[in-house]
Structure 1
Amino acid sequence: MQEKSLSEINERIRNGSARVVTAEEMPDLVDELGTAGAVREVDVVTTGTFGAMCSSGVFLNLGHSDPPIKIARAYLNRVEAYGGIAAVDLFLGATQPSEDRGIEYGGAHVMEDLVIGKQIEVEAHGSPSDCYPQMDLETSLRLEDFNQATMVNPRNAYQRYNAATNSSDRTMHTYMGTLLPGLGNVHYSGAGVLSPLSNDPGFEYIGVGTRIFLAGAQGYVIGSGTQHNPENGFSTLMVTGDLKRMNNSFLRAATFHKYGPSLYLGIGIPIPMLNERLAKSTAVRDSDITVPVQDYGIQRRDKPSVRMVSYEELKSGLIDLGGKEVSCSPLSSFQMAREVARTLKEQVERGEFLLSQAAEPLLRVGSCRPMK
């Protein structure tokens, strides 16, 4: 079996001789060269996804005020941030809505405002003690004014995601967008052929400590994501990165109509061609990746599946549901997923992005049980 080492591939990246292709280009190369030939000819395959990743947030350290304060409650542009960590550490969640603007503005919008250089208004209320006497403070801060702004996202980069439709007689407003009554439309998410975990479903390379592209910065996988369910092809990642290094092109706030705020993120992972197993997994096509179309008109946790459908069918724009031709629309951006994979490819080719050995593998058995 044809194999290469990670150190050999990193050396080629350093000296500029590495051959890098995107995950969209890889299937045709494997068809042409075979898996052994692909391992010989290709060093790195870059992946990418860009979509709503609600389970995201950022740890912020404000620095100590004078007199000092132990923050019990804090608001950033009137969006509440959790203060029960330490005196001036906060955690801001992407989906937290504003106190005064409701669901039209939330934590994700604060993050985007910070990344694009805007000043945000901070209001803090203290829990007084002898060492933290201050009760209240107000100030204005930019991203550069925080000591640290560390993004830590519990669940990102779903391997694949259920599509959604609505059989009820009323319009529904969901995290899968606005679903029209009577199976009037289908919404789906995910990058299909470009999705990082679809290109390494067995975690041959991706693991704890893997260096990733996170919203324009270099970040890391820190573990399996919440609701990680690899047995059913719904693996997720827990990731981290420095908000101060992120790029607004790959970090965008959004509001789902009558549902609430979310954060759109660009995530990419370069996959080294270490062996033929990875060559085979990175040869995946949209036609190989299937998801159930779930009926959100049935309002229970275990929504029934109308049918299984491939990303190739979804991307065609029309699918058949019970003899009815139904239009399909993506909630994620395939164009931006391509841009993530292309940007990552250029960084690897320039020697700016080296690949890292995982400290330990991701969990092969996950847990996605209903609430007890």
Structure 2
Amino acid sequence: MAQYTVNKTIAEINERIRKGKAVVLNAAEMTEAVRRMGKEKAAREVDVVTTGTFSPMCSSGLLFNIGQKEPPTIKTSRVWLNGVPAYAGLAAVDSYIGATEPAEDDPLNKVYPGAFKYGGGHVIEDLVRGRSVHLRADAYGTDCYPRRSLDRQICLTDLPFAELYNPRNCYQNYNAAVNLTSRIIYTYMGPLKPNMRNVNYATAGKLSPLFNDPLFKTIGFGTRIFLGGGTGYVVGAGTQHVPNPKRTERGLPLSAAGTIQVKGDLKKMDPRYLRGLSFIGYGCSLSVGVGIPIPVLNEEIAWYTGVDDSDIQMPVKDYGHDYPNCLPRVLQHVTYEDLKNGEVEIQGKKVETVPMTSYSLSLEVADTLKAWIEKGEFLLSEPVEPIPAW
């Protein structure tokens, strides 16, 4: 076991939070603190580092129950919310609506195929904003569930259970997307101009949760987090989690790597941190605000949370030729610091950069979580099961 000159426990940090004595920095502040005082002193003086990101997270959705409001009872087999299909292959009145599921009657798609204006992410935002949505459901009817249809307006307060359940959020590093073809292409990374005239990227850099704990030393099953403006939890590794990528000396992956699965009570969330999205020519999604507190248990954790934008190497990939053909080719790596500057050099060419992640809202997430902890309103939790990093 590694020997450290600083050793804290989450229980000790929580006691300091309760007493209002915890020192909490956001991830950008911690970067400066580690640079200024070194990792050992930073580990002694700082108790918690708050991270944040606000970015499109397609693998998101809502698990909900519509309840049995009036007789006769029903076992739904098909469900729509504002014309967006939900998966109803669950018990009785349980359903799941995905953020990228488009409305079946979306008028924009009839004019521009693939250009969906409204989808599951927008339904989720509408519910959190307190708007009513149109529920329609079909059923095949049974002796115990004889009803065959439902048609009514509902709002979030009408749902006995509504939980944001996201199978894959917070990618630890991701591609910087370019297009080397001679025509514009439409992707989940946004429109990519021909002949590499823009490069689109998605991360909050040094604020990003999984860059601050690259080896999952503190983040695991049961970690309490900021999710969509409320409290949520990590429930394990996300789908497409890559536990053993190539890493830099600082432990940072050189490609898309770790992901997490998260959940939280939608009724306690804030529409500021859940926004339905439409990508022309691609479809719908949901931008999600996620913030994870990193307990500074020792100088190793302090070193990781001292990550800077210049440390983060992002792989540049061609979404025109390589991505649709599952080719692993990386054109080169560029730093997040360079991408953030608005222009980066790729293969000898200056290329305009376009962020998909809101840095200002990512910082707001980190600062909101910081304020909760400083007020004693948010305690850290011990992970009950690790997420594999190797």
Give the TM-score category using the shorter length.
over 0.9
What does residue 194 of structure 2 align with?
A: 181
Select 1:114's aligned residue among 124, 127, 130. 127
Match runs of 1:1-372 below 5 Å? 1-64=5-68, 65-101=70-106, 102=109, 103-232=116-245, 233=253, 234-298=257-321, 299-365=324-390
Retained in 2: the 8 A contact 1:51–1:189? yes
Confirm or deny: 8 A CA contact 1:215 1:265 kept in the other structure: yes
Unaligned runs of 5+ in 1: 366-372
- Secondary structure at 2:28's aligned position in 1? coil
Amino acid at match of 2:59: S
Task: Tell me which amino acid in the other structure corresponds to 1:230.
Answer: P
Q: Distance in 2 between matches of 1:44 and 1:237?
A: 20
Mapped contact 2:258–2:389 kept (Cα < 8 A): no
- Listed one character per residue, the Cα deviations across residues 298-320 of structure 1 (whole Å, up to 9, x for unaligned) are 03112532210110011011111
Q: Distance in 2 between matches of 1:170 and 1:50?
A: 30
Distance in 2 (CA, whole Å) between partners of 1:297 and 1:137 is 44
Q: Secondary structure at the match of 1:10?
A: helix
Higher strand share: 1
Aligned partner of 1:264: which letter?
S
CA distance in 2, matches of 1:92, 1:163: 29
> Does the Cα contact within 8 Å between 1:295 and 1:303 map onto a contact in 2?
no
CA drift at 1:84: 0.5
Q: Please give the secondary structure, in 2, of the residue aligned with 1:29.
A: helix
Contact 1:296 1:303 in 2 (8 A): no
Q: TM-score, normalised by structure 2?
A: 0.92
Q: Percent identity?
A: 50
2: CA distance, partners of 1:154 / 1:326: 33
Task: Point out where structure 2 has 5 or more consecutive residues left out of the alignment.
Answer: 110-115, 246-252
Q: Deviations over 1:30-68 (max 9, x none)?
A: 122221211111111000011000000111111114111
TM-score, structure 1 normalization: 0.97
AA in 2 matched with 1:84? G
Distance in 1 between residues matched to 2:147 and 2:361, nearest whole Å: 46
User: Residue type of the partner of 1:3?
Assistant: N
C-alpha deviation, 1:294, in angstroms: 0.3
Q: Tell me which amino acid in the other structure corresponds to 2:338.
A: E
Distance 1:123 1:164 in 2: 39
Contact 1:53–1:157 at 8 Å: present in 2 too?
A: yes
- Flag as ranges the 4+ runs of structure 1 deviating above 6 A: none
Q: CA deviation at 1:100?
A: 1.0
Deviation at 1:3, TM superposition (A): 1.4
The C-alpha deviation readout for 1:261-292, integer Å capped at 9, x for no partner, is 10000000011111111000000001111111
Instruction: Name the structure 2 match of 1:369.
Output: none
Matched length: 365
| 2:226 match: secondary structure | strand
The amino acid across from 1:186 in the alignment is V
* 1:70-115, Cα deviation, whole Å (9 max, x unpaired): 1000110000001100110010100000011141100000000000
